[in-house]
Amino acid sequence: MRMKWGKWLMVVVIGAGATGLGVAWDLMLRGVPVAVLDQGDLGHGTSGRFHGLLHSGARYVLTDAVAARQCQTENLRLRQVAAPYIESTGGLFAASPDVSENLVQNWLRGCHDAKIPVAPASPVQGMNAQWKRIYEVNDGVINGYQLLQALARGIRQGGGQILTHRRVVGARPMKGKIHTIVMEGPDGLEEMRADAVVNAAGPWAGHVASLWSDPLPLTLSRGIMLLFSHRQTPKVINRLDVPGDGDILVPHHHISIWGTTDTETDSPKAPTPSHAEVAHLMERGLAMFPDMGEWRVLRSFSGVRPLYRAPGNLARETRHISRDFVVLDHPLKGAFSVIGGKWTTYRLMAEQVADRVAAYLHYATPCQTGAVPLPLANAVGVGADPLLCECESVSKSQLRAFEGLSLSDLRTRTWFGMGPCQGTFCGHRVMQWRSHQIGEEAASKELAAFREERERGMCAALWGDNAVEWLLQRNIRFQSLGESQRADD
Ligand SMILES: Cc1cc2nc3c(=O)[nH]c(=O)nc-3n(C[C@H](O)[C@H](O)[C@H](O)COP(=O)(O)OP(=O)(O)OC[C@H]3O[C@@H](n4cnc5c(N)ncnc54)[C@H](O)[C@@H]3O)c2cc1C
């Protein structure tokens, strides 16, 4: 094991999701030296597996007034400091005929109390014509991967380090204070000196806190989502009711995301959705959009929410645990955890953790992330060279900007493989390009991992054109390319 990183004062942030990168950006702007470590790439956790919604807060006004207010305030802030990564689509809330007028009036009152602007609205094409009570709010869409890249760029430009594919496996104290972080990376075990550590490990936060023997009261909840090709509506569409399964449609990039569910789980790893979960989501969707069965489904995926179970909260259902967040100081001095919250509130969460860390290290500069705009994510232009991914218009020159990354990491940086073909053709083209860098055998392994991940998401939603695409993929592999098929394939 080598002590490779750091002699000077250093704050180590564990987790390169929205929260961890937000904390590092905040500390960096205060002049505090930071390093971010992640076991995967940027957005490896829930930040790369969410619904894409910039909440207005209207979803929470009936159940969680604090979360509703936080969302509205942060919604307005992010439009200022992260404008290139926010799409101002607006959002509709539509009540089904089964919803009582009393509930609608309570919802309107809740929006008023949370200062969420609301106006009566007309339905968009495709919505159930029976759902006549419709209101517009300032929901939007977050381009998550791009916003993560912008944060990472800002941190690096300010001198911070971001080390991906490093899993933190140990934390060593000295005289009751955090002193050294041990991580496992591509070159084996490494150590990094830390004067403070922030656990922003999302659903893994419990595992990380147990490294300094202070387990967290964390409950995990998984949510399933379905992707449809094309933007099926111009605005976000929400069911006006107490939050439930299958009640939000988000137009995101070139696609639409329908979800989600809320079921307790015991693993931080996002599970493959089951057929039953997908069928349940479709049933809920058809009530709201009678033609949803005709839309071209692309795949399903899931994410895991870390929820902080406050002392005394004995709720059996994860839906009854607040979407608010908490910042904790551990008995080990210099160790902090941040748990819960939303993508929409990452900046606020980061501010509150950074306030504690800065006070602990005696830095007086206040938070600046509410006023300083994020840098542009990257300056990759589309080259004149041919497209490798035709569905998502990704050219070789765009990939070149991320040379050295694996196929899976390239996917999230450039969006290649995310379109209707789900990598059937572009997977092979990008693999061929990768094989010039790492050799054919290693590139083939990357392709296999990339394909397995895509296939898992397709399999739970095998109907219509998606089933045809899946069959085409298999015919290309097993007939045209002569790959040998495993018994469990
Ligand atoms: C189904 C679903 C839908 C959602 N939709 C929305 C939405 O539409 N809008 C919204 O505002 N919010 C949404 N959320 C909530 C939002 O996605 C999360 O609040 C947010 O992404 C959490 O970010 P994070 O950085 O805290 O955690 P994560 O993104 O999970 O980041 C934690 C990081 O820590 C890393 N890590 C863990 N352990 C270690 C270790 N030992 N060493 C190194 N690295 C480690 C992980 O690899 C990971 O990258 C949704 C959540 C779910 C589950």
- Predicted confidence at residue 485, as pLDDT, reads 75
The residue assigned the tokens 């969707």 is: 285
411 is a domain residue: yes
Q: Which atom of ligand 1 is nearest to the CA of 18?
A: 25
Angstrom distance (rounded) from CA 242 to CA 99: 10
pLDDT class of 6 with cuts at 50, 70, 90: low
Report whether pLDDT(433) > 60: yes
Q: What is the pLDDT of residues 193-252, one digit of tens each?
A: 999 999 999 999 999 999 999 988 889 999 999 999 999 999 999 999 999 999 999 999
421 is a domain residue: yes
Angstrom distance (rounded) from CA 194 to CA 180: 5
Average pLDDT of the segment spanning 89-102: 98
The beta strands (E) that lie in 403-489 are given as none
Report whether pLDDT(280) > 60: yes
Q: Which atom of ligand 1 is nearest to the CA of 250?
A: 8
Phi/psi of residue 29, nearest 5 degrees: -65, -20
- Cα(488) to centroid(ligand 1), Å: 31
Average pLDDT of the segment spanning 268-277: 94
- Predicted confidence at residue 276, as pLDDT, reads 95
CB 39 within 8 A of CB 165: yes
Provide the domain count of the chain. Answer: 1
Q: Which of 50, 264, 322 has most ligand 1 atoms within 8 Å of its beta carbon, as the pocket-test mutant? A: 50
Q: Which atom of ligand 1 is nearest to the CA of 225?
A: 1
Query: Is residue 258 within 6 Å of ligand 1 at its C-beta?
Result: no
251 is a domain residue: no
- Cα(284) to centroid(ligand 1), Å: 25
Burial of 356 (0-12, 13-18, 19+ CB in 10 A): middle
Query: Is residue 308 within 6 Å of ligand 1 at its C-beta?
Result: no
- Predicted confidence at residue 483, as pLDDT, reads 81
Q: Which of 25, 41, 46 has most ligand 1 atoms within 8 Å of its beta carbon, as the pocket-test mutant? A: 46
474 is a domain residue: yes
Residue 146: CB atoms within 10 A of its CB come to: 19
- Predicted confidence at residue 168, as pLDDT, reads 98
pLDDT class of 379 with cuts at 50, 70, 90: low
Instruction: Give the whole-number percent of the chain exceeding pLDDT 70.
Output: 96
Report whether pLDDT(314) > 80: no
Q: Which residues pair with 182 in a beta bridge?
A: 170, 191
H or E segment to which residue 169 belongs: strand 167-174
Burial of 474 (0-12, 13-18, 19+ CB in 10 A): middle
Query: Is residue 223 within 6 Å of ligand 1 at its C-beta?
Result: yes
pLDDT class of 304 with cuts at 50, 70, 90: very high
Shortest-distance Cα residue to atom 4 of ligand 1: 50
Q: Which atom of ligand 1 is nearest to the CA of 223?
A: 1
Expressed as residue numbers, the domain containing 395 is: 387-480
Phi/psi of residue 44, nearest 5 degrees: -65, -30
229 is a domain residue: no
Q: What is the pLDDT of residues 128-186, one digit of tens each?
A: 999 999 999 999 999 999 999 999 999 999 999 999 999 999 999 999 999 999 999 99
Q: Which atom of ligand 1 is nearest to the CA of 338?
A: 26
454 is a domain residue: yes
Grouping H, G, I as helix, E, B as strand and the rest as coil, residue 215 is coil
Query: Is residue 14 within 6 Å of ligand 1 at its C-beta?
Result: yes
Q: Which atom of ligand 1 is nearest to the CA of 167?
A: 42
301 is a domain residue: no
* Tokens coding 102: 């009393």
Q: Which atom of ligand 1 is nearest to the CA of 38?
A: 44
Query: Is residue 341 within 6 Å of ligand 1 at its C-beta?
Result: yes
* Tokens coding 453: 């991940």
Query: Is residue 37 within 6 Å of ligand 1 at its C-beta?
Result: yes
Q: Which of 51, 189, 281 has most ligand 1 atoms within 8 Å of its beta carbon, as the pocket-test mutant? A: 51
Name the residue among 227, 223, 225, 236 with its Cα closest to residue 255: 227
253 is a domain residue: no
